[in-house]
Structure 1
Amino acid sequence: MTRVLVVDDDPVQLRLTAEVANRAGFKPLTATGGEQALSILREDRNIGAMILDLVMPDLDGMGVMDAMRREGLTTPVIIQTANASLETVISAMRNGAADYFVKPVAPERLIISLRNAMKLDALEAAIRSERARKAGTFAVSDMIAKAPAMARVLALCGKAGKSTIPVLIEGETGVGKELIARIIQGSGDRAGKPFVTVNCGAIPPNLVESVLFGHKKGAFTGAVADQPGKFAEAHNGTLFLDEVGELPLDTQVKLLRALQEGEIEPVGASKPERVNVRVISATNRRLLNLAKTGEFREDLYYRLNVFPIYVPPLRERMEDVAELVAMFIARFSAEAGKRVLGISPAALDLLMAYDWPGNVRQLENAVYRAIVLTDGAFLESVDFPQIVAQSAGRDSAIRAIEQVPVPSAPTHIDTAPARQRAATEQPSAPDRFLDTSGEVAALAEIERAAIVFAIAHHGGRMSRVARALKIGRSTLYRKLHEYGLAEELINDAA
């Protein structure tokens, strides 16, 4: 639940504003002065928004916003005051207020202001994160990773950033391994220096060496000029080798030399060149298993795996889903030009209950698709049809698997019993021309049954029964007396 800080020296107004926020689904925190509000903001940087009164005895609202700007506190501020002068409004907005209203305010207006402020905060956070990523100063605070499962990962990132030790990042696809690499770069001496990414699995095998180490003019057909490789581009910076397990074996030998000697030899060069590069590698497969099978050089594995970091999948850090969704909504709704304020509790519960095999990348794409689909102000469960279908399908599959009997011990192929098949043939209905003993019934019994059926079918209207049986009415009445049906009809009529 998103926390909202309400600051007001009037206890009645403080209680009313907090109650409005509480009924809107937020968790209100209260402060009766500016100094107390700053203390709360310093201790908890994850507060969604602050409703701030301008006039307070110890430190007024303008003073609080000045202190927030000096200390780098980015919590969105909504100003409320009893004074509605234009000068006050302009001063508050210049100090960074997200919105402004005069007391008393309608609850609907306050709720809309809170939601808009949080959406703006999420969008600003996404913009700050993107700017830091491009500037090479990406830090822990720029990544959404508040889940306990990520605490050790971030701690290891801080330690790895203080040295040039080779780092191997392992994790499933889509968990954010490149962001972890950028945190390591941004928290060390190479912050702001080049960060070059190479997807080793996307380079054709015959071009891997040229892409990594470069080539000289005339080294091969089509080499019309000198071309620096990725190692040269990352000089004095960081080289991120994504999916390093996909490198061909012959290229792995040259990569090992580059890591050990700190020098590369471009294709067609007569002598090696010195490079100063911090190498961070990543893989979505266990390199140790690849080394055991011979698909990856064992000596290169030990060279890369000096400082391993395992990034847990999203299903093990579901505490981050709500904040990730809020950030994606703010970003994609701005890109799509839609006014999407958030996600409904039911839709969020749906996303929280899903396993996300594609991890954060799949969540990002699902929210992007929902933004395009929705026409409302909040994302609903119907905006995630694929997640709904996959969740229902997976549950059905799990139930079906649980119902399959599992043998208690292995069964040899020679002693395996035949599988019992369920009977699919329905038992046949008794033939109407056979009696109870299975013999052909007498003609009189068959005729009597036909007359009884015709009478029931036509509701006892004898003229219709006679026409249907292709006999006269006198013949019909005679047969009724002959088979004892006339008395039954009289009794039924009575």
Structure 2
Amino acid sequence: MAQRILIVDDDPVQRRLLEEAVKRFGYRSKSCVDGREALEILTGSAQSEIDLVILDLMMPEVDGFQVLKETREAKNAVPVIVQTANGSIETVIEAMRAGAQDFVVKPSRPERLQVSITNLLKVATLEGELTRIRKHSEGTLTFDNIVTRSEPMDRVLRLGERAASSNIPILIEGESGVGKELIARAIQGSSERRSKPFVTVNCGAIPDHLVESILFGHEKGAFTGAVDRHIGKFQEANGGTLFLDEVGELPLEVQVKLLRALQEGEVDPVGARKPVKVDFRLISATNRRLIDQVKEGKFREDLYYRLNVFPIWIPPLRDRSEDIPELTRHFLARFAAEESKPQVTGITSDTVNMLKSYDWPGNIRQLENAVFRAVVLCDGPSLTCDDFPQIAQATDTPMSYAAAPSVGKKEPQADVYSSSLSVASKWEEQQDEQFLHVEAVSAFDAEQPPFGYMRSLDGEGHVRTLTGVEEEMIRTAISHYGGRMTEVAKRLGIGRSTLYRKLKEYGLEETPENKAAH
């Protein structure tokens, strides 16, 4: 879903012009005829739906200066572009002091307005990310800092806000990558334990023989190798919150001690003579159905009911596709800044539609990594389908470099490709041209696994030869990197000359007859 811009102007002609311009820029618009109507939106419950405001300063009754003042007093930090027919320095300074970020003089040129909108939206997204990072590290992250615009997640946030007002044990369930830890941190940041320790334990990543020591601690000499006293995670979280991720992976013998810690508010360090009192808030999370593990005898029933006092289920990303555009812009602003690519400022509508059509089995974590990779690949001002090759393969989305150029005609992709080899020798360019159109392995053929995965067995059930695996890997790499042989060789960890030799060995180079066929 495109970002929404609020247009506030009492002139119907100017409003119409701005609405058309905003639509042409790829955004949604909402219009107000006066400042009073704008304040109802910007200071009310609908303020989160507005991403930017284009505000006329001179209006009857409630003017633009009053709108700015009351909007900022309501703690609404939405970016504001003011427009006025009076472009004097005094007017501009007054508007900036009132809380505007930029100004345009009527009549404004569309190009000037578009640049201002793009820059302010990017800065606002980046500032929001910096705020989230700071609050994350300080333990003061709240539900207002969570990026979402979907009804299912709104219900999750409302449940979390209710749970934050007490010390009730919480069990968060959901698939891997949906943001269970983020919800847990928001619960703590909205509770009386904000700014207190938030201790995270991934129960599935601890070896069984170390679980008890890591969680509950041990005394010096309690067992072989215990050369010093160790404070467990429960004691580290004293006064704050203990987050047990993948709690279903805990061994049964440790589950007994966890149950006692919950019931008595004390832990027994390994080798200690007496228990230690602890004050903690427990939030557990799992990507499995704990009730099924209880039925299978893998999880204690009494502990399950102790943990499942206040259950919260987070829906997968595929069930809240309206969050995908917002999350994508959020990750885009962050990674564009981290990777020093300020020219990447947006994403095309076709690409957004492609991302929304994908199932995202890895949920938000997978989307985050996909956007990270796309930002690194992107050479233009906006992310395109070509920057998400794996998602494009999975959704059968055509990509510009997939088609081979005709004889005597140089396609745009060939231009981009050739320019990337400006430091290479003429021989290398000829070699790349020769191998550019090697046919890629079909990622969704009936007998092929999904793109990015390779079969280990052949059609008869025998282990494939190393030669066959290597040939398929080279084909996949060529497809994945659009025929850019320098990148292919780099990612495969071989030299360019070795790559060309292997292509000849496998008979992948194009013959004059094949070239003529193109």
TM-score bracket, shorter-length normalisation: 0.7 to 0.9
Please state how far the C-alpha of 1:396 moved relative to its aligned partner: 6.0
Q: Calculate percent identity across the aligned residue pairs.
A: 57
Counterpart residue number, 1:48: 51
* Distance in 1 separating the partners of 2:443 and 2:197: 44
Secondary structure of 1:318's counterpart equals: coil
Shift of 1:9: 3.0
Q: Secondary structure at the match of 1:144?
A: coil
**Equivalent residue in structure 1 for 2:313, among 300, 310, 315:** 310
Alpha-carbon distance between aligned partners in 2 of 1:337 and 1:98, rounded to the nearest angstrom: 23
TM-aligned CA deviation for residue 336 of structure 1: 1.1
In 1, Cα distance between equivalents of 2:63 and 2:217: 61
Determine if the alignment matches structure 1 residue 213 to structure 2 residue 216.
yes
Q: Which of residues 345, 349, 355 is equivalent to 1:345? A: 349
In the alignment, which of 368, 372, 380 is matched to residue 372 of structure 2?
Answer: 368
Which letter maps to 2:240?
G
**Alignment partner for residue 60 of structure 2, among 49, 57, 60?**
57
**Deviation at 1:397?**
5.5
Distance 1:94 1:205 in 2: 60
Match for residue 232 of structure 1 among 231, 235, 249 = 235
Q: Given the alignment, which residue of 99, 102, 105 partners 2:105? A: 102
Please state how far the C-alpha of 1:140 moved relative to its aligned partner: 2.1
Q: Which amino acid aligns with 2:4?
A: R
Native 8 Å contact 2:169 2:309 kept in 1:
yes
Amino acid aligned to 1:259: L
- 1:131 counterpart letter in structure 2: R
SS in 1 for 2:322: helix
Provide, for residues 241-279 of structure 1, a one-character-per-residue CA deviation record: whole Å limited to 9, x for no partner. Answer: 001111122211111110111001112211101111111
Task: Answer with 69-78 or 374-383: which moved more.
Answer: 69-78
* Match in the other structure for 1:4: 5
Residues 250/382 of structure 1: CA separation in 2 closer, same or farther (3 Å cut): same
Give the number of aligned pairs. Answer: 400
Aligned to 2:299, the other structure's residue is in SS state coil
What code does the residue aligned with 1:205 have?
A: D
User: Where do 5+ consecutive residues of structure 1 fail to align?
Assistant: 401-494
AA matched with 2:373: R
User: Matched residue of 2:395: which SS?
Assistant: helix
**Per-residue displacement from partner, 1:208-227 (whole Å, max 9, x unpaired)?**
11211122233234434332
- Indicate whether 1:284 and 2:287 are aligned: yes
Q: Which shifted more, 191-200 or 89-98?
A: 89-98
**Is 1:86 the equivalent of 2:65?**
no
Match of 1:367, as an amino acid? V
Q: How does 1:147-226 map to 2 (within 5 A)?
A: 147-226=150-229
How far off its partner does 1:151 sit?
3.3
Greater Cα offset, 194-203 or 353-362 = 194-203
Q: Deviations over 1:105-161 (max 9, x none)?
A: 111111221122222222222222222322323222211232122233223212222
- Residues 219, 91 of structure 1: CA spacing in aligned structure 2 closer, same or farther, 3 A cutoff? farther
Question: What is the rounded CA distance, in whole Å, between the counterparts of 1:186 and 1:261 in structure 2?
Answer: 25
Q: Is the 8 A contact 2:69 2:99 kept in 1?
A: no
Q: Does 1:253 align with 2:256?
A: yes
- Please state how far the C-alpha of 1:27 moved relative to its aligned partner: 2.3
CA contact (8 A) 2:248 2:290 kept: yes
Q: TM-score, normalised by structure 2?
A: 0.73
Distance in 2 between residues matched to 1:340 and 1:388, nearest whole Å: 20
Alpha-carbon distance change, 278 to 43 in structure 1, aligned in 2, over 3 angstroms: closer
State the partner residue of 2:487: none
Determine if contact 2:148/2:327 at 8 Å carries over to the other structure. no
Deviation of residue 375 (structure 1)?
A: 0.6
Q: Which residue of 1 aligns with 2:390?
A: 386
Match of residue 456 from structure 2: none
Residue 390 of structure 1: CA displacement?
A: 2.5
Structure 2 CA distance for aligned equivalents of residues 382 and 133 of structure 1: 33
Q: 1:128 is matched with which residue? A: 131
Taking the aligned partners of 1:90 and 1:318, their CA distance within structure 2 comes to 42
Worse-superposed segment, 11-20 or 374-383: 11-20
2:118 to 115, 119, 122: 115
Distance 2:325 2:445 in 1: 26
Letter in 2 for 1:4: I
**In structure 2, C-alpha distance between the alignment counterparts of 1:9 and 1:62, rounded to whole Å:** 14
Tell me which structure has the larger Cα radius of gyration.
Answer: 1
In structure 1, distance between residues paired with 2:91 and 2:257:
66
Q: Residues of 1 paired with 2:446 and 2:77: CA distance?
A: 46
Match of residue 359, structure 2, among 334, 355, 378: 355
Greater CA deviation, 187-196 or 320-329?
A: 187-196
**Which residue in 2 is equivalent to 1:36?**
37
Out of 315, 319, 322, the position equivalent to 2:322 is 319
**By how many angstroms is 1:313 displaced?**
0.6
Task: Determine the C-alpha separation between the residues in 2 that align with 1:183 and 1:112.
Answer: 35
Q: Residue 376 of structure 2 aligns to which amino acid in structure 1?
A: V
| 5+ residue gaps, structure 2 | 397-441, 450-518
Distance 1:391 1:323, change over 3 A: same
Give 1:295's aligned residue.
298
Range with greater deviation from structure 2 (371-380 or 99-108): 99-108
Cα offset, 1:333, TM superposition: 0.7
* 1:409-448 → structure 2 map (5 Å cutoff): none
Deviation of 1:394 after TM superposition, in Å, equals 8.2
> Quick one: structure 1 residues 219 and 87, their matched pair in 2 at CA, closer, same or farther if it must change by over 3 Å?
farther
1:26 aligns to what? 27
The residue type paired with residue 366 of structure 2 is Q
